[in-house]
Each structure stands twice: as C-alpha cells, then as structure tokens.
Amino acid sequence: RFHGEGFQEGYAEGSHAGMAEGRRYGALHGASIGSEVGCYLGFALTWRCLLQGCTDEKNSKKLRALDSLIGMIQKFPYEDPTYDKLQEDLENIRGKFKQVCSMLNVQSDFRVGTERSSLTF
C-alpha cells in the first residue's frame, strides 16, 4: 500500500515539475527562433529597400531572391507550435538566407547564445 501511495505522489510531483520545465524550455527555444527569423526579415527588408532603385539584371535577381526570402518568412507559422513542418521550413529559410547573402556578397554569422545574439557582417 505504501509503495503504491509513494508511487502516485512521486508521479504527480514529477508530472508537475516536467510541465514547468517544458514550458521554460519551450519559451526559451521559441524566443530563440523568433529572434533568428526576425533578424532575417529585417536584413531582407533593408536590402530590398537599398536595391529598390536599381534596375539592372543582377539586382533584379537579388530582389527576386530577397522577395522569396521575405515571402517564406511571412508564411512561417509563428503561432502554431504543433506545425509538423516547422523545422523543415526553418531550415529552408536558413538556406534561402545563405543564398541571398552569397548573392549580395555579404558574409553572415548568426549566433544565439545566453550572452547575446547578433548578426555580423
């Protein structure tokens, strides 16, 4: 009887602690992804504004790639943590960002850590 009661109490306590830890981890990981994607969007919008007046073929390719990146970010499901292709879409956005950086001849380095997050050029 004592074994059964102890098990039930331990199970309830562990479930409660696990939920709290899961919420903290989810909030931290979600904030990290939001920061990364937000940085990509700001980068793309800024470069699109800078290249807006240029009409040559090279710049039109860059603008199309930037528009594609912006479209991918705008379609990203920020408010649905159960979205089954979340990681796949995030990897596609990262890949498109690297492609755009290559086209713009800009070296990027996005770091997310406990001290700071930054995008350096």
Q: How far is CA 54 from CA 26, 41, 42, 48, in A?
A: 43, 21, 20, 10
121 pLDDT band, cuts 50/70/90, is very low
Contact 65, 40 (CB under 8 A): no
Classify residue 97 by burial, with Cβ atoms within 10 Å: 0-12, 13-18, 19+. Answer: buried
The highest-confidence range among 17-26, 66-75, 101-110, by mean pLDDT, is 66-75
Indicate the pTM of the whole model.
0.73
Amino acid at 11: Y
